[in-house]
């Protein structure tokens, strides 16, 4: 967003890693928004979540799930580190008001929930620093992922009620959505909060969305040490060595994705999972949830290391326009209906080559969209802004 940065000896190498990861991960996010996947099966859904009457192949489904496994948290970690390079790391900038304006202008679109959540997180984080309670804030806020779910139910009372969630709130826990009906609307517009009707725990807002906050903290406090390693890898002159690192990291990521299913399934942030029938606290659930968060962070780090090692060029321009393309993607579903496109390819190509062609298509189009739409947005915005400024000046002079 063009914010002022501190200049250091490693700034150029850091910029290359940040730009490459940002450009690639936002392309992956655009793709994941355009290809909804069912939690319990391979059925194909179009961009509007309507059944297409066909299914993804097992290899296709594995690749689609693999590619989106650790990307989102990686962006938050990079944002945390990038903010430490600011001239005022603990100050709000025009970024935060811009995010709120975009959230309003985009009609509170579900895919943009990160904008208000990030602003609220940054505002509280900076305020805690200014009053000298930064570490107390981090320690207290971390309990939202550790002990808070044992006492506060963030599912019961949500409308519409997911079929897997009880209708009544137990007397031993707090159910904010049921106790304060307006809380759902406030959370929806202030944080973009959701409760998935089909798989509320598997797509938990707290565990799978708001987890970006601890990742941001890690990037903010420990990103300098992490980026020393990343820039060393990215600056390695030997292509062979970089490819060895990329292959090793990819193998690790693949192993975690393939064998980490029990860890993912062990995550549960419903109060009922923390208490046995006799009222005893099940501390093992806390450990299972922490194990899930640790695996999520590790996969995010391997994602970043792989991109740093495997991409030898600087995707500077793509990184510059990727955010605007992400914003536009919410309003151009016809250009990103990738499952429907893949199904048309399947109808026209032989079965032997169709699966590979479909995957190639659904991975190429999001990045082509990112480049073309982002470039159009970048070319259109300056003259529109200049015209608006001239119009405002003319109206002001007429009033005078």
User: Is residue 8 classed as helix, strand or coil in its secondary structure?
Assistant: coil
The confidence score (pLDDT) of residue 95 equals 87
CA-derived radius of gyration, the chain: 23
Whether the CB-CB separation of 339 and 47 falls below 8 Å is answered with yes
The confidence score (pLDDT) of residue 152 equals 96
CA atoms of 150 and 164, how far apart (whole Å): 18
Alpha-helix residue ranges (DSSP H) falling in the chain: 11-34, 58-67, 71-84, 95-105, 114-130, 134-146, 176-179, 182-191, 212-234, 239-259, 261-266, 283-310, 316-329, 338-348, 354-399
The confidence score (pLDDT) of residue 8 equals 53
* Placement of tokens 């292509």 in the chain: 239
Whether the CB-CB separation of 290 and 343 falls below 8 Å is answered with no
* Placement of tokens 């904010």 in the chain: 176
The confidence score (pLDDT) of residue 399 equals 60
Cα–Cα nearest to 21, from 300, 294, 241: 300
The confidence score (pLDDT) of residue 398 equals 62
Task: Give Cα separations from 368 to 64, 278, 306, 382 (angstroms).
Answer: 18, 57, 22, 22
CA atoms of 158 and 172, how far apart (whole Å): 18
Q: How confident is the prediction along the chain (400 residues), in pLDDT tens digits per residue? A: 445 455 455 678 888 999 999 999 999 999 999 999 887 789 999 998 899 999 999 999 999 998 887 666 788 888 899 998 888 899 998 889 989 999 998 899 888 999 999 999 999 999 999 999 999 999 999 999 999 999 999 999 999 998 889 988 988 899 999 999 899 999 999 999 999 888 899 889 999 889 999 999 999 999 989 999 999 999 999 999 999 999 999 999 999 988 888 998 899 999 999 999 888 999 999 999 999 999 988 888 898 999 999 999 999 999 989 999 998 998 888 899 999 999 999 999 999 999 999 999 999 999 999 999 988 988 887 777 677 667 766 766 666 5
CA atoms of 390 and 394, how far apart (whole Å): 6
- In 10 A of CB 394, how many CB atoms? 10
* Placement of tokens 């159910």 in the chain: 175
Q: What angle do CA 363, 18, 220 make, to 5 degrees?
A: 125
CA atoms of 46 and 41, how far apart (whole Å): 15
Q: Which residues contact 286 (CB under 8 A, 6 or more apart)?
A: 146, 147, 150, 274
């Amino acid at each position: 967003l063009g914010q002022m940065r501190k200049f250091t000896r490693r700034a150029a190498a850091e910029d290359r890693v940040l730009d490459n990861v940002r450009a690639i991960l936002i392309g992956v996010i655009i793709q994941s928004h355009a290809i909804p996947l069912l939690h319990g099966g391979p059925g194909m859904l179009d961009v509007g979540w309507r059944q297409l009457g066909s299914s993804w192949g097992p290899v296709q489904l594995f690749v689609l799930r693999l590619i989106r496994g650790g990307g989102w948290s990686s962006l938050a970690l990079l944002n945390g580190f990038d903010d430490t390079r600011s001239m005022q790391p603990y100050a709000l900038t025009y970024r935060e008001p811009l995010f709120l304006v975009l959230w309003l202008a985009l009609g509170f679109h579900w895919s943009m929930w990160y904008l208000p959540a990030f602003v609220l997180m940054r505002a509280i984080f900076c305020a805690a620093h200014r009053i000298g309670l930064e570490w107390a804030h981090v320690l207290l806020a971390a309990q939202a992922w550790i002990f808070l779910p044992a006492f506060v139910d963030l599912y019961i009372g949500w409308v519409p009620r997911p079929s897997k969630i009880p209708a009544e709130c137990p007397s031993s826990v707090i159910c904010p959505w049921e106790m304060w009906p307006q809380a759902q609307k406030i959370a929806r517009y202030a944080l973009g909060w959701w409760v998935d009707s089909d798989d509320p725990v598997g797509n938990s807002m707290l565990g799978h969305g708001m987890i970006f906050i601890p990742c941001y903290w890690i990037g903010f406090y420990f990103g300098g040490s992490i980026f020393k390693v990343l820039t060393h890898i990215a600056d390695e002159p030997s292509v062979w060595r970089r490819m060895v690192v990329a292959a090793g990291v990819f193998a690790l990521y693949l192993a975690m994705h393939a064998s980490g299913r029990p860890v993912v399934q062990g995550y549960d942030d419903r109060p009922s999972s923390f208490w046995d029938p006799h009222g005893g606290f099940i501390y093992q659930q806390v450990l299972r949830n922490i194990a899930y968060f640790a695996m999520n962070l590790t996969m995010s780090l391997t994602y970043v290391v792989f991109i740093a090692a495997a991409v030898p060029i600087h995707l500077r321009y793509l990184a510059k326009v990727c955010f605007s393309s992400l914003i536009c993607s919410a309003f151009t579903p016809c250009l990103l209906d990738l499952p429907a496109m893949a199904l048309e390819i399947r109808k026209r190509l032989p079965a032997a080559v169709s699966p590979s062609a479909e995957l190639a298509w659904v991975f190429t189009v999001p990045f082509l969209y990112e480049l073309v739409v982002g470039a159009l947005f970048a070319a259109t915005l300056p003259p529109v802004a200049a015209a608006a400024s001239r119009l405002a000046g003319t109206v002001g002079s007429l009033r005078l």
